[in-house]
Structure 1
């Protein structure tokens, strides 16, 4: 494999890019930094980007830092033991890299200890005061809305974006999955696939809502949105809803009683809120001689652990776009860092329909 040209042993500069593209150095800077006041046409921008790629030009982060007074570093805060955080980092890293930013990975000692979580967040504020980071992105629980943390962020003026948290707090920038919209997409898909079990009988697909025993009966914001989305969808289509609650204990769901009823009748399609609970359903369905997809159509409204890849038959599901959410969070954060806006932003990203063999 040969490397792209680098002007011999000499480091490629923005002046080299400008000469190669036939533009001024200020135009190259405008393309790289989105500088205001310098109009760059779409055609010129493409020529500059092509020259950057051909010459393998790399932004000198240290030089930019000295010029702007910024660290060119963004803090990413979340539980590193959580697989969703890793997917979020994927999107953050790609978005930051395009603009010459690095990620500082920060995690509380325990994802379950609120005091350690709070301590970790406040260490980030110290780093911002020391100009070691330029902004913060956190991955939060969907019900997270700590008013003390929000007050500190606003008081200090640190650019900040929460992923999943502060859904109903307009003073904090945040990025969310559209859980209500994902329910509608999933239900539309199921009714189109099984019209004889839904439209013909005026019966909605069943919604199996899994609850975690560890939460002690508390329902987070995302689950509230899903349930509301299900009921609203049924109401608009004059279909009778049928929702079932099942408890997950020690990471497993006991589907036996639920399946006992369905083994004795032609089952309607079922939409399960968590893909992690479907693996137990697959396993137990074999005891009742039920074939997933044929005798029992199943779909997951939340695929966060690649459950579609781990199951046979492959699971139909709604993929929560954590990588895209990380990308969007960094893009919002960088606008705040660059001073383009000081108004909090809210962004809702749709989940992605992934048809499988289970429904």
Structure 2
């Protein structure tokens, strides 16, 4: 290969090969469905080698093969607890002698598409797409051109494999802990009732009650929408009832923080008068509330690792499950029950 000139661009490659810049991009990114002849592809790849364009991808990539890198597009780079997805993915990738290229997407389609193009330029073998909270997503169209796995989210079109937390099992486990402590009237502060996390956790909560011979009471379920202020209001409404609950299962730790204030404002004690279980195990909240909060952990690190396992299977041409892969949400015992 000729010595690399730092100023070589895709436009130079296009002029050298006598094609458009778009055609060069399609060939280098292996765009499917592009009507480009084998001779034109060969001419573009020869120009890439001759001009020394994009050598960081390696000679193997220029020959049409993928590198030993995985790409990760995520909105969670700055989140204090969800970065464990990155750690789990990095550690598992490294154990397979793979490397991870990370690009911030922030959930903005234009930025995500640009980030994906950069990863494709590096000839990544596959892609992980991770989100802060569990929800359906629309991935950039180019993500369907290479093996792609979603982490902590699902494909709105139902086509791409994904790894998600077992919300049902987490809700069941939290409620079971309160039942085992002797509580029968258990209030539930939900997230937005329409999102998957809220639906799954409520289903687990209700199933645990039924297994204990208790009919779920819809009046004990109050939306708190995931923040401390509305969690405070939801808890206060439940505690103002004449037949108030003796325990609260909060759909996340921020609502539990608001619930703590509502409980103490009524002169009640945690856990003697009202027990509380949260969800997320957001360390900056759960470990520093007084008493420290018993909560269910979202398995971010384990989901990152599971995402890499699924991606490795895809890139090896192996069959992967059609249904979402679920990862268990463990209980973190502290002092609020």
TM-score of the two chains, using structure 2 as the length reference: 0.71
Kindly indicate whether residue 98 of structure 2 is the aligned counterpart of residue 101 of structure 1.
yes
Structure-to-structure mapping, 1:310-325, within 5 angstroms: 310-325=288-303
Q: Find the partner of 1:245 among 216, 219, 222.
A: 222
| Structure 1 residues not aligned, in runs of 5+ | 1-60, 199-203, 212-217
Q: Name the counterpart of 2:240.
A: 261
In 2, the alpha carbon distance for the partners of 1:350 and 1:82 equals 21
Q: Name the counterpart of 1:223.
A: 198
Q: Name the counterpart of 1:233.
A: 208
Q: Name the counterpart of 1:142.
A: 134
Structure-to-structure mapping, 1:1-359, within 5 angstroms: 69-79=65-75, 80-108=77-105, 111=106, 117-127=108-118, 129-140=120-131, 141-146=133-138, 149=139, 152-154=142-144, 156=145, 158-166=146-154, 170-194=158-182, 197-198=183-184, 204-211=185-192, 219-242=194-217, 243-247=220-224, 252-253=229-230, 254-255=232-233, 257-258=236-237, 261=240, 267-305=245-283, 307-341=285-319, 346-359=324-337
1:223, CA displacement in angstroms?
Answer: 0.8
1:119, CA displacement in angstroms?
Answer: 2.1
Q: How many residues align?
A: 275
TM-score of the two chains, using structure 1 as the length reference: 0.67
The structure 1 segments of at least 4 consecutive aligned residues displaced by more than 6 Å after TM superposition are 61-68
In 2, the alpha carbon distance for the partners of 1:340 and 1:260 equals 53
1:259, CA displacement in angstroms?
Answer: 6.3
Q: CA RMSD in A?
A: 3.2
| Structure 2 residues not aligned, in runs of 5+ | 1-56
